[in-house]
Amino acid sequence: MKKSLWKPFTMLVVLVGIIILWPMTKAFAAPDLHVSVQTGLDQKTKDGKGAPIVFTIENKGTAFAGDLIVNTTSQTGGVGQSIAVNIGEGEKQTVTMTVDSIQDPTMYGNPIKKNIYFYENGWRSGDEITHSGTQLIKSTTFPEQVLFIAGLADNIDRLSSLKDLYLKNQEGTQLLNLTKADQPPLPAEQGGWDAVDIIAVDGFSIADLSPKQQDAMLEWVKAGGTLLIGGSQNVSAEAGVFSSLLPLEIKESKEFAPALFNDKFKDPVPGFSAKKSPDAAILLQQDDTILAASQLVGSGMVLQTTFSIGNESFRSSTGVKAFWTDLLNKSNQLLKQRPSQMYYTPPTDDLMFTVGATNELFPSFKVSTPLLFGIIIVYIILIIPLLYFLLRKRDKREHAWWIIPVVAVVVSFAIFAYGGKDRLGNAQLQHSAVYLVEPDNRLSGYYAESLLTDKSGNFTFSMQKPSTVTTNSSANSIFGTSLPSHDHAILEKGATEEVLSFRNLGFWNVASIYGETELGDVGNFDTNLELEDKKLTGTITNNFPFSVKDVSILSGSKTIKLGSIMAGETLKVQEDVKVNVLGPRSSSSYGYMNPVANNQDDLIKMRKEGLLNFSSTHMNESSKPILSATTDTQIMELSLTERKAENSPISMLLQPIDIKTKLSGTVTVDSDLMEMELLSSTGNSADLVDEVNKEYIFSENEYSQKWQLPNDFSQKVDNWTKIQLFGVDLNRYDVSILNVKTESYEVLEGKSSITMEPASDYVSKDGNLTIKLNFNNSQMGESSHPPELRLTGEVKK
């Protein structure tokens, strides 16, 4: 008997051992990942800007196949960005991911300790595995106003003259060394260059880069970047994809006299004679010698010199900083920069407040209060007196116990069905976007997509590339505790589209997507407009494949409404505008004054005004009037997949336009038609804290307020008769004005408004007028309103 039980007992012990030891065996046979990270370019990033992240992953365990996820954060949301990773046993692999926005993960008060995650078999399985090494992505982050110059040279010392520059509206300079031995490959996506303002190239062949790297650099330039290329005999061959976009054709070599640069240059600089390309603009030239020229490419430019910027005699000169300041400030004028803001907010964060707040208000949220009140009154009348008398008459009062709750349930269901009739059966989408029409008919801009769910579960969107993505949801936190971004939304970037998956959204939940996008050749407006005697006449042709409405011209704080234009048709314009010249629009508040949306029309108005408000701050870089229009067509490709949805799209188009101006008689120029800058005596900009009310922080004692007239006025007005200054705060600063004839400042006295007649002695031939503000020491660091200017003059006969 004992012998017969031995074998079953042995098998039982073995089975129990397998059950106990199997999980341990499985654990020992798991992937063992160790991670190190390089973030940004030269380990530097800008707050709110995109950046490449390079992961070095070493696997000391079994093979891993799954997803690497990085959580990004914003003021009100974030997204988990996913990339597929396959690492064999014992392998070491480098993985590069370009994220749309880098921000300090703890800056919004969230105690985040980890934002790197690995999921075996993909994030949908939920099998997270731990890893060693870096858990939280960190970098040396700089404000948006710091000038980033990416250096591409065989030796970064050749670009040393670009260090420590102080340009208008910039707060210092960082020269990034991208060609040192330990640097990862240059970005192969446009977003990897997002933080960079200038790419400086000297002794480096762009043509040797991969096609993807060159295309990424080209798209970055088109989006507003500046490529600075030094002169060389082989520059055309070395420029790669930029060869046909160079502003200069290099000829034979020659030697430049030091005086061509500035009076602090002492040694000659070797260079080349050059011929300007047809569409290029010469920036620096003396006699027949060209020093620098630029070629606009989309919203950016290629800036080329006729000498090597790494040449020893050039970069070692004591005058080189002044030379770069002069040249780069001139080039920046072609790419008009926004004023320096003390409290800068990344556009996609600001988008959530100026556009998203109204975009998330759906018409179905509003239920008729009088109707619901009427239903309740009828219910009370039916249930109490009518039911009582009816049952009493029939002697059926004992049935009241079940009739009352049944009627209550039916009425409650009816109220629910009526209030939610527009939220049942289909999800609802509201799409709001604003685009700038580029000179090559491309569209670049920002979008907000809001979803109102009709059921709980996962919701997936597909969208076109290139687009940046961040999210916000009313389910983003529970009892005030923030959830990790990837528990809320996952972003997967493909070759042709990007896929965003909202996870576990609740019933009647609201979730939104925000970002920046670009579209190819879509269309434009052809304009032929003329302004004479305060009358605007001409034509506007709609070359877009859809009709537009709300067509208006934005100039200063004025809006000239013109009507609607069908696709391919032309609108004749005849309007009295009450001004002599139309100039750039000001950064004004366009807010819809009704704080409560009573109907769908109110919501549409609020959404449009939100787009105008946002664009006046983040898309207001042109010195020309703006033609604006809206369409009910959703222009960008963004759709909810595998679910039915009702969509309400609004797309706004903004295009800078030229208006021929004929001046005669007496003309008046208000401040919103002029460009203005505020620089301290040490060359630092005043910090703009309120763009609408024109409030600045002045941190030094003395500032120069320089006004620049539009060319129409500076060329055609020969007698300035009156200067008026408004909003002068003499309690905080003293005011003086530069007399251009005596080259001395004259103190002005008065109250909040100051008038001077005549005025020609104070306006230079090129249309400049300078005011000096001397502040009281006790007011340093407090916000103040600088003077506003109005000029009156007589046009040449």
Give the 3-state secondary structure of 72-109.
EECCCCEEEEEEEEEECCCCEEEEEEEECCCCCCCCCC
Residue 405 sits at φ, ψ, to 5 deg, of -65, -35
Counted residue by residue, the chain has a size of 797
**Integer Cα distance of 88 and 98 in angstroms:** 24
In one letter, which amino acid is 620?
Answer: N
Q: For position 76, what pLDDT does the model report?
A: 62
**If you compute the radius of gyration of the chain from its CA atoms, what whole number of angstroms results?**
33
Label residues 47-74 b or e (16+ Cβ within 10 Å = b): bbbbbbbbbbbbbebeebebbbbbbbbb
Is residue 621 scored above 70 in pLDDT?
A: yes
Cβ distance 613 to 592 under 8 Å? no
What is the Cα–Cα distance from 154 to 178, expressed in whole angstroms? 10
Residue 694 in tokens: 């024109």
Please check whether residue 235 is in contact with residue 309, taking contact to mean a CB–CB distance below 8 angstroms: no
pLDDT at 479: 35
**Which residues are registered as beta bridge partners of 463?**
498, 638
pLDDT value of position 687 = 80
Q: What is the structure's pLDDT at 87?
A: 95
CB 484 within 8 A of CB 71: yes
Average per-residue pLDDT for the chain: 84
Structure tokens at 708: 């620049």
Look at residue 590 and tell me whether its pLDDT is greater than 70.
Answer: no
- CA separation (Å) from 119 to 85, 125, 488? 10, 8, 15
In order of 437, 544, 568, 576, 629, the CA distances from 526 in angstroms are 12, 10, 10, 21, 13
pLDDT at 476: 43
DSSP 8-state secondary structure symbol assigned to residue 245: G
Predicted local distance difference test score (pLDDT) of residue 425: 66
Q: Is the pLDDT of residue 19 over 60?
A: yes
Q: Which two tokens stand for residue 32?
A: 């063992």
pLDDT at 343: 56
- Per-residue pLDDT tens digits for 25-36: 444 568 999 999
3-state secondary structure of 405: helix
Closest C-alpha among 742, 654, 673, 764 to residue 712: 673
Report pLDDT for 235. Answer: 92
Please give the Cα distance from 192 to 685 (Å, whole number). 29
Amino acid residing at 462: S
pLDDT confidence of residue 386 = 66
User: pLDDT tens for residues 226-283?
Assistant: 999 998 888 999 999 999 999 999 999 999 999 899 888 989 999 999 999 998 999 9
List the beta strands (DSSP E) in 336-478: 427-437, 443-452, 457-464, 470-473, 477-478
Amino acid at 685: S
Could you give the percent of the chain with pLDDT greater than 70? 83
Q: What whole-number distance in Å separates Cα of residue 425 and Cα of residue 234?
A: 65
**CB 291, CB 284: distance < 8 Å:** yes
226: phi then psi, degrees, rounded to nearest 5: -120, 125
Mean local confidence (pLDDT), 542-551: 97
412 C-beta neighbours (distance < 10 Å), count: 11
Mean pLDDT of 473-490: 63
**CB burial class (10 A; 0-12, 13-18, 19+) of residue 111?**
exposed
Residue 504: the pLDDT is: 87
CA trace torsion 495, 496, 498, 499 (10° rounding): -90
CA neighbor of 355 nearest in space, from 478, 472, 489, 524:
472
Residue 333 has φ and ψ, to the nearest 5°, of -65, -30
* CA 462 to each of CA 225, 499, 518: distance values in angstroms, whole numbers, following the listed order: 28, 5, 15
Give Cβ neighbours of residue 399 (< 8 Å, ≥ 6 apart). Answer: 391
Q: For the segment 758-770, what is each residue's pLDDT rounded down to a tens digit? A: 999 999 988 899 9
> Which residue is it, tokens 């399985």?
125
| pLDDT score of 550 more than 70 | yes
Q: How much is the pLDDT for 477?
A: 41
Mean pLDDT, rounded, for 671-691 = 80
Angle subtended by helix axes 369-381 and 400-419, to nearest 10: 170
Distances (CA, A) of 29 to 26, 395, 698: 5, 80, 64
Of 11 and 123, more confident: 123
| Residue 90, number of CB atoms within 10 A of its CB | 12
pLDDT value at 340 more than 60: no
Tokens describing residue 396: 């059926």
- pLDDT surpassing 50 at residue 593: no
Residue-wise pLDDT for 106-142, tens only, equals 555 556 788 899 999 999 887 899 999 999 988 888 8
Residue 666, pLDDT above cutoff 80: yes
Q: What per-residue confidence (pLDDT) applies to 288? A: 84
Do 647 and 431 meet the contact criterion of CB atoms below 8 Å apart?
A: yes
The predicted-structure confidence for 515-542, as pLDDT tens digits, reads as follows 999 898 899 999 999 998 889 999 999 9
Q: Are 255 and 271 in contact (CB under 8 A)?
A: yes
Provide the whole-model pTM. 0.82
Structure tokens at 327: 């040249």
- The residues pairing with 253 across neighbouring beta strands, listed in sequence order, are 272
Is the model's pLDDT at 365 over the cut of 50?
yes
Rounded to a whole number of angstroms, the distance between the first and last alpha carbons of the chain is 130
Cβ neighbour number for residue 18 with a 10 Å cutoff: 10
CB 30 within 8 A of CB 62: yes
Secondary structure (H, E, C), 677-733:
EEEECCCCECEEEECCCCEEECCCCEEEEEEECCHHHHHHEEEEEEEEEECCCCCCE
Of 34-38, 394-398, 569-573, the poorest mean pLDDT is in 394-398
pLDDT of residue 480: 38
What pLDDT does residue 346 have? 74
In angstroms, how far is CA 338 from the centroid of its own chain?
A: 12
On the question of pLDDT at 474 being above 90, the answer is no
Residues 6+ apart with CB under 8 A from 194: 46, 49, 50, 51, 220
Rounded Cα distance between 421 and 184, Å, is 56
Burial of 123 (0-12, 13-18, 19+ CB in 10 A): buried
Residue 186: pLDDT band with limits 50, 70, 90: very high
pLDDT at 781: 67
Kindly tell me if the per-residue pLDDT of 794 is higher than 60.
yes
* Angle subtended at Cα 615 by Cα 611 and Cα 616, rounded to the nearest 5 degrees: 115
CA atoms of 670 and 789, how far apart (whole Å): 6
DSSP state of 339: P
Q: Verify cis geometry, omega within 30 degrees of 0, for the bond prior to 31.
A: no
